[in-house]
């Protein structure tokens, strides 16, 4: 029969074997994009990331977009901006999962705040297809869809998001239920990645939901719900191995995406993202298939939950 330890050991070994089977040690860097069929067969179906070097280098955005350009052309435009005291929006702090304050401001105001290192931390990171919905003027500078991804996945992107922020903004480790094409237009982003098959090494906990709010110049954390939000409990950039010794076994794959590069980030891959100052990016979220590999991941996730991860 088995014990808790035997099940744990089985999950650990399987995660290690999965890596040997199908995960590259580094994120492969292609010189040109795959065909639709190659994309599906080699990358989507296998749930493996890749970078196309210079895959978006010829987009007008890569030549035109800058703080100066945005000030001149769209300075008065009103945007929704995530504001935090510390650059940690949608992250765990002091035992709570804390959302950013969402603030409406003009592009000019945002750029002033973003550049002020003594200020709070301002990040355009609204993931509601804010490029198409809130900034359609910018669409002609990019593409409405990634042609080979749309052909492969059989549908247009579900959302196209615009991101702009400073090095003080860091995105905590999480996963998305989307196939993600991530294009850096200016600056650079560093991704720390884990395959979903590494789930047994990635500790999770549940946290009450809260939100940062600034009132009369003072930050508070306002409780929103005691219904717990499950989130990755380790910070891969500064892991507490004493607390989470199993995380030592996780395979950390780091990947720098520079201006003009395009990253395919497969659905369910854990990712932590940091960036240089003034980084601008656009990402395309395509619906994922809730298919056999999703079903298997759900099983793995539940078993880990049962083991207290």
Identity of the residue, 21 or 226, whose beta carbon is nearer to a second copy in the bound complex: 21
- Rounded to whole angstroms, the Cα distance separating 194 from 197 reads 8
At 160, give phi and psi (nearest 5°): -125, 120
- Rounded to whole angstroms, the Cα distance separating 307 from 12 reads 12
Identity of the residue, 171 or 195, whose beta carbon is nearer to a second copy in the bound complex: 195
- Rounded to whole angstroms, the Cα distance separating 171 from 87 reads 8
Identity of the residue, 222 or 298, whose beta carbon is nearer to a second copy in the bound complex: 298
SS3 294: helix
User: Residue 176, interface with a second copy (CB under 8 A)?
Assistant: no
User: Residue 299, interface with a second copy (CB under 8 A)?
Assistant: yes
User: Residue 149, interface with a second copy (CB under 8 A)?
Assistant: no
Measured from the Cβ of residue 83, the count of other Cβ atoms closer than 10 Å reads 21
User: Residue 302, interface with a second copy (CB under 8 A)?
Assistant: yes
Question: What's the min distance (Å) between Cβ of 115 and a second copy?
Answer: 42
The end-to-end CA distance of the chain, in Å, is: 22
User: Residue 249, interface with a second copy (CB under 8 A)?
Assistant: no
Residues 189-218 that bind a second copy (CB under 8 A): 195-197
Identity of the residue, 186 or 194, whose beta carbon is nearer to a second copy in the bound complex: 194
Pair 145, 179: CB distance under 8 Å: no
Output the CA angle 44-147-288, nearest 5 degrees: 35
Options 28, 30, 45, 85; binder of a second copy; rule CB under 8 A: 45
Q: Report how many residues bind a second copy under the rule CB under 8 A.
A: 47
Closest CA to 159 of 123, 137, 126, 193: 126
Question: What's the min distance (Å) between Cβ of 289 and a second copy?
Answer: 7
Residues 279-298 that bind a second copy (CB under 8 A): 289-298
Question: Residue 167 class from Cβ within 10 Å (0-12 exposed, 13-18 middle, 19+ buried)?
Answer: middle
Binding part of the chain for a second copy, among 6-14, 73-81, 220-228, 275-283 by CB under 8 A, reads 6-14
User: Residue 147, interface with a second copy (CB under 8 A)?
Assistant: no
Options 62, 81, 143, 152; binder of a second copy; rule CB under 8 A: 152
DSSP for 171-230 reads EEEE--SEEEEEEEEESEEEEEEE-GGGGGGS-EEEEEEEEEEEETTEEEEEEEEEEEEE
Options 27, 33, 47, 173; binder of a second copy; rule CB under 8 A: 47
Identity of the residue, 43 or 110, whose beta carbon is nearer to a second copy in the bound complex: 43
Q: Which two tokens stand for residue 18?
A: 């999965």
User: Residue 237, interface with a second copy (CB under 8 A)?
Assistant: no
Q: Which two tokens stand for residue 302?
A: 């539940």
At 248, give phi and psi (nearest 5°): -60, -30
User: Residue 7, interface with a second copy (CB under 8 A)?
Assistant: yes
- Rounded to whole angstroms, the Cα distance separating 225 from 24 reads 40
User: Residue 108, interface with a second copy (CB under 8 A)?
Assistant: no
User: Residue 6, interface with a second copy (CB under 8 A)?
Assistant: yes
For tokens 């996780």, the residue is 250
User: Residue 154, interface with a second copy (CB under 8 A)?
Assistant: yes
User: Residue 105, interface with a second copy (CB under 8 A)?
Assistant: no
Q: Which residues bind a second copy (CB under 8 A)?
A: 1-2, 4, 6-7, 10-11, 13-15, 17-18, 21-22, 36-37, 40-41, 44-48, 151-154, 195-197, 289-300, 302-303, 306-308
């Amino acid at each position: 029969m088995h014990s808790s330890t035997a099940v744990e050991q089985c999950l650990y070994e399987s995660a290690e074997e999965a890596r040997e089977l199908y995960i590259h040690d580094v994120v492969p860097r292609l010189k040109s994009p795959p065909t639709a069929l190659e994309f599906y067969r080699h990358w989507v179906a296998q749930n493996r990331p890749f970078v196309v070097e210079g895959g978006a280098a010829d987009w007008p955005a890569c030549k035109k977009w800058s703080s100066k350009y945005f000030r001149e052309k769209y300075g008065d435009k009103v945007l929704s901006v995530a504001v935090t005291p510390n650059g940690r929006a949608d992250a765990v702090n002091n035992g709570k999962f804390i959302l950013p304050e969402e603030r409406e401001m003009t592009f000019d105001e945002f750029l002033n705040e973003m550049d002020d290192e003594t200020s709070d931390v301002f990040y355009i990171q609204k993931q509601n297809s804010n490029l198409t919905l809130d900034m359609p003027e910018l669409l002609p500078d990019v593409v409405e869809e990634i042609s080979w991804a749309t052909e492969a996945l059989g549908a247009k992107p579900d959302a196209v998001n615009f991101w702009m922020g400073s090095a003080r903004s860091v995105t905590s480790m999480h996963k998305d239920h989307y196939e993600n094409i991530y294009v850096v237009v200016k600056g650079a982003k560093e991704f720390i990645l884990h395959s979903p098959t590494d789930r047994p090494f990635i500790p999770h906990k549940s946290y009450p939901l809260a939100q940062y709010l600034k009132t009369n110049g003072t930050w508070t954390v306002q409780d929103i719900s005691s219904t717990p939000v499950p989130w990755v409990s380790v910070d891969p950039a500064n892991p507490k191995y004493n607390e989470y010794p199993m995380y030592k076994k996780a395979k950390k794959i780091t990947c720098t995406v520079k201006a003009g590069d395009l990253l395919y980030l497969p659905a369910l891959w854990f990712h932590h993202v940091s960036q240089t100052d003034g980084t601008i990016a656009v990402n395309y979220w395509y619906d994922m298939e809730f298919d056999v590999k999703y079903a298997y991941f759900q099983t793995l996730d539940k078993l880990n939950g049962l083991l207290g991860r």
